[in-house]
């Protein structure tokens, strides 16, 4: 937020706080920590979504990309110093 103030009015500064992204790398890393409780990565991912994410699903790379598209659009021209949480209801900032 301090950079948003310092660089305004010519540059907007925003960030995205992604949630649990549904991709193989994230799944393997998290699964490795808790593998004793789950038979498969799919079981782990389903349980994570069901128990820790209010919207009950992992986020996709497209979900995160859509946030970037929005923040760089004309519709977001008055937004600066913001953190856009894309986490299905999990607050990451």
Do residues 2 and 29 both lie within one domain? no
Number of domains in the chain: 2
Do residues 3 and 33 both lie within one domain? no
Find the domain containing 91 and state its range: 1-19+59-93
- pTM (predicted TM-score): 0.76
> What does the CA dihedral 24, 26, 32, 33 come to, rounded to 10 degrees?
-160
Do residues 5 and 15 both lie within one domain? yes
Q: How far apart are CA 19 and CA 57, in angstroms?
A: 10
Do residues 14 and 29 both lie within one domain? no
Do residues 6 and 29 both lie within one domain? no
Convert 23-50 to b/e letters by CB count within 10 Å (16 or more is b). eeebbeebbeeeeeebeebeebbeebbe
Do residues 15 and 41 both lie within one domain? no
Contacts of 3 (CB under 8 A, 6+ apart): 13
| Tens place of pLDDT per residue across the chain (93 aa) | 899 999 999 999 999 999 888 877 766 666 676 666 777 777 878 888 898 899 999 999 999 999 999 999 999 999 999 999 999 998 765
Q: How far apart are CA 85 and CA 67, in angstroms?
A: 9
């Amino acid at each position: 937020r301090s950079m948003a103030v310092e660089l305004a009015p010519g540059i907007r500064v925003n960030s995205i706080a992604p949630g649990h992204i549904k991709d193989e790398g994230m799944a393997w890393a998290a699964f490795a920590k808790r593998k004793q409780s789950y038979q498969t990565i799919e079981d782990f991912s389903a349980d994570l979504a069901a128990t820790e994410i209010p919207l009950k699903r992992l986020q996709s790379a497209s979900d995160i990309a859509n946030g970037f598209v929005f923040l760089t659009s004309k519709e977001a021209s008055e937004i600066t110093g913001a953190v856009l949480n894309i986490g299905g209801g999990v607050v990451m900032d």
